Structure 1
Amino acid sequence: MATATTRTTWRRLKRNKGALVGISIIILAILVALFAYLLAPDGSPNANRMVVEIGGQRPGYTQQFLLLPRERKINPTSFFKRLFVGGEDKYQYIPIQSYQQKNDSLIIQQYLDEGFTERVALPLSKTKWQEGRSSGNYKIITKKFRLGTDKYGRDILSRLLVGVRVSLGVGLVTVLISLSIGVLLGALAGYFRGRTDDVIMWFINVIWSIPTLLLVFAITLVLGKGFWQVFVAIGLTMWVSVARIIRGQVLSVRELEYVEAAKALGYSHTRIILRHVLPNVMGPVMVVAASNFASAIVIEAGLSFLGVGVQPPQPSWGLMIKENYNFIITHNPMLALAPGFAIMLLVLAFNMLGNGLRDALQVKE
């Protein structure tokens, strides 16, 4: 029966073009999050390669770099470590405007700022030096920053790709926490009614009366600033809508014949709730879970913009907007608009999926 219902739901969902577009965007975002450090032009941890001389450049900016080996030895990074946390740069990136090889020296014009350069002579070893190759003392490459650089000279595209992990992570943790608390309290309130229902509903109404952002601020101040703290803080504020929906659904289901039959057979309350009640009320919960996922992404971006969410240097789309919003009214608005568009696209995808689930599951509002 459950399999047939699932197939019917999937057939309805496939007929909804908006939901399919949302699913496609979400799958793409998940793949980008998994392989972010392999896809990003800057594969360093947190995509945090700073070259302050080229800060605030426009999309499509191209720059030559002289790569100098770092003084300390950088151990090779394994594939899996690079996949999950990135690999530390073996070279120091020095922006240059031009270069030439003269006798046993490499003469470079080091780029300092727009219109400012400095002539530097670097000795060459006996090993043959070639442009764009790692043989010899130095290596010169040309890099293109497709979305420009932020005020610290970091690649916007790389930080945008790595930042997908934060947005999807906060949504996932928020949904798991909100479902765990909301389903538990809502099922208890709807099934047992009476004093249990009164106490739980009083608690729900108290939490409901506090503005979400204010409550998140309070929890964040208690837990502290950080990556996991903001995830938990947002999750602890979004269970109320789940609990209210579950309570209403359980109140109607508990009066049906099969629940009465289970009670007459002497089944425990726990078994009745877990095996007979909850499986029949999870449709609306899936819809609200998609909505909560989208809301969590927006709230995390807002918190990071205000400085109480994800902390630097970890990339977050909200934090990227905060660091570059002043460019909107100057010469390079794309530095702040790019993460804003990313937030909008991912939130839109989850909302379209939620609408598609609502229609496919025939959830009445």
Structure 2
Amino acid sequence: MNKKKSSSLTHLALQKFKKNFWGVLSFWFVVFCLLLAVFAYTLAPDDTANANQMHLSIHSKNPGFSVKMLSFPIETSSQSAISSFFFGENISSAEIPITNYKISNDTLYAAPYTGEGIEGLAKTYTLKEDFKGVDSWQHVEEQFIRQKTFLLGTDKYGRDMLSRMLVGIRISLSIGFVAVFISLVIGISLGAIAGYYGGKIDQAIMWLINVTWSIPTLLLVIAITLALGKGFWQVFIAVGLTMWVEVARVVRGQVLGVKKLQYVTAAKALGFSNFRIIQKHIIPNIIAPVIVISAANFAAAILVESGLSFLGIGAQPPMPSWGGMIKDHYSYIILGKPYLAIIPGLAIMSLVMAFMLIGNALRDALDVRT
């Protein structure tokens, strides 16, 4: 027996969305970014917390730069696998970039890297003092001396740009998810209450909406951030508290139209509570425009967070933020190292564009007139 093809609105909307090439491509790009964010420390060459291992002697190097790295084991506290997966490894070795080395008379002679074509004064290291617990120089060469390549180069502190970019995805996506969640909770609640009850309740909520709407978003976010203090979680709250207004206005308008329909009148006649009518009968039927707004708000949240980090009141160092990376390196655009600012800038642009294209595709797919 053949299954009948579903003709539900959800199925029809999904079919229309699948026909939108840019929408589907953007969706898979966002899924790819989500996977990168989840496995950031697994994929990052520098898997230490915040990818913050600095080597000042190799700062601002071009993509593809390669150098020998001499490591020294150091004692660290034990760390669970879950902790290292989500928050990165504790620094277990001190690294020094070197140009060359030799072993003679039970001593390691290593010349620190000081620049292209320049060889630093060789320093001496011994097994007993510098490689405690290691039994042979062969083991040192196998485990503690390696060629390290920086695929995206290094930043002005000598940190691996690729690792910083991968961990930075978490900041942007986390800000987007939390900010949109806060805006949906506040916006849908206030919008539904205003549209359903009307009267003075509607007037009071609309006054609050209009006052919040009249304040420039960035200024309001800055004010909230300064009031709550600088930090990662403060940015979540600040961005979320500024994005509920548009959601509330759209939800209110939709509820004003839906509450006059017959099925809402029938629900009232059956004695259902106002809360149940709003939750079970009204909100499920007005969710389409809210989904579209959420995609746009996600993109806006990423931009706002990047702007705050650029101004120095977003995610605080050493936490990698794409906006903070642009702030650290925008002056390098005229100093011959433009990629240090262009790489995070392109990342922000591509992620924001992906969410905007998804929003446009959802708008077309959920439009009942097409």
Q: TM-score, normalised by structure 1?
A: 0.94
- Is the partner of 2:83 in helix, strand or coil? helix
Q: Which residue of 2 aligns with 1:45?
A: 49
Whether 2:111 is the aligned partner of 1:102: answer no
Shift of residue 113, structure 1, vs aligned partner: 3.9
Q: Which residue of 2 aligns with 1:208?
A: 213
Asked if the contact 2:45–2:163 (Cα under 8 Å) also holds between the matched residues in 1, the reply is: yes
Q: Give the counterpart letter for 2:351 in structure 1.
A: L
Q: Which residue of 2 aligns with 1:18?
A: 22
Shift of residue 128, structure 1, vs aligned partner: 2.7
Alignment of 1:141-152 (within 5 A): 141-152=146-157
Whether 2:321 is the aligned partner of 1:312: answer no
Shift of residue 5, structure 1, vs aligned partner: 2.3
**Residues 298-307 or 83-92, more deviating:** 83-92
Q: Which residue of 1 aligns with 2:88?
A: 86
Q: Give the counterpart letter for 2:101 in structure 1.
A: Y
Q: Which residue of 1 aligns with 2:124?
A: 121
- Is the partner of 2:24 in helix, strand or coil? helix
Decide which of 142, 154, 161 is 2:159's aligned counterpart. Answer: 154
Asked if the contact 1:63–1:95 (Cα under 8 Å) also holds between the matched residues in 2, the reply is: yes
Shift of residue 124, structure 1, vs aligned partner: 4.2
Q: Which residue of 1 aligns with 2:353?
A: 348
Decide which of 40, 57, 71 is 1:67's aligned counterpart. Answer: 71
- Is the partner of 1:127 in helix, strand or coil? coil
Asked if the contact 1:234–1:296 (Cα under 8 Å) also holds between the matched residues in 2, the reply is: yes
Distance 1:3 1:42, change over 3 A: farther
Q: 1:79-111 deviations in whole A, cap 9, x for unaligned? A: 212110111122110111111122221111111
Asked if the contact 1:283–1:363 (Cα under 8 Å) also holds between the matched residues in 2, the reply is: no
Whether 2:142 is the aligned partner of 1:133: answer yes
Q: Which residue of 2 aligns with 1:194?
A: 199
Q: 1:208-262 deviations in whole A, cap 9, x for unaligned? A: 0000000001100111000000010000000000000001101110111111111
Whether 2:40 is the aligned partner of 1:32: answer no
- Is the partner of 2:95 in helix, strand or coil? strand
Q: Give the counterpart letter for 1:329 in structure 2.
A: I
Q: Give the counterpart letter for 1:152 in structure 2.
A: Y
Alpha-carbon separation, structure 2, partners of 1:148 and 1:87: 21
Asked if the contact 1:112–1:118 (Cα under 8 Å) also holds between the matched residues in 2, the reply is: no
Asked if the contact 1:62–1:142 (Cα under 8 Å) also holds between the matched residues in 2, the reply is: yes
Unpaired runs of 5+ residues, structure 2, are: 1-5, 129-133
Alpha-carbon separation, structure 1, partners of 2:102 and 2:203: 81
Q: Which residue of 1 aligns with 2:234?
A: 229
Shift of residue 268, structure 1, vs aligned partner: 1.3
**Residues 301-310 or 261-270, more deviating:** 261-270
Asked if the contact 2:40–2:167 (Cα under 8 Å) also holds between the matched residues in 1, the reply is: yes
Q: Which residue of 2 aligns with 1:283?
A: 288
Shift of residue 116, structure 1, vs aligned partner: 5.2
Q: Give the counterpart letter for 1:291 in structure 2.
A: A
Alpha-carbon separation, structure 1, partners of 2:368 and 2:203: 26
Aligned identity (percent) is 51
Asked if the contact 1:53–1:111 (Cα under 8 Å) also holds between the matched residues in 2, the reply is: yes
Asked if the contact 2:26–2:358 (Cα under 8 Å) also holds between the matched residues in 1, the reply is: yes
Q: Give the counterpart letter for 1:286 in structure 2.
A: I
Distance 1:3 1:89, change over 3 A: farther
Asked if the contact 2:99–2:119 (Cα under 8 Å) also holds between the matched residues in 1, the reply is: no
**Residues 2-11 or 260-269, more deviating:** 2-11
Alpha-carbon separation, structure 1, partners of 2:255 and 2:112: 70
Shift of residue 334, structure 1, vs aligned partner: 0.8
Alpha-carbon separation, structure 1, partners of 2:13 and 2:159: 45
Which ranges of 4 or more aligned residues in structure 1 deviate by more than 4 Å?
none
Q: Give the counterpart letter for 1:133 in structure 2.
A: E
Alpha-carbon separation, structure 2, partners of 1:124 and 1:216: 55
User: CA RMSD for the aligned pairs?
Assistant: 1.6
- Is the partner of 1:112 in helix, strand or coil? coil
Whether 2:331 is the aligned partner of 1:323: answer no
Alpha-carbon separation, structure 2, partners of 1:43 and 1:164: 14
Unpaired runs of 5+ residues, structure 1, are: none
Q: TM-score, normalised by structure 2?
A: 0.93
Alignment of 1:173-188 (within 5 A): 173-188=178-193
Decide which of 109, 112, 115 is 2:114's aligned counterpart. Answer: 112
Q: Which residue of 1 aligns with 2:269?
A: 264
- The aligned length equals 357
Decide which of 243, 251, 257 is 2:256's aligned counterpart. Answer: 251
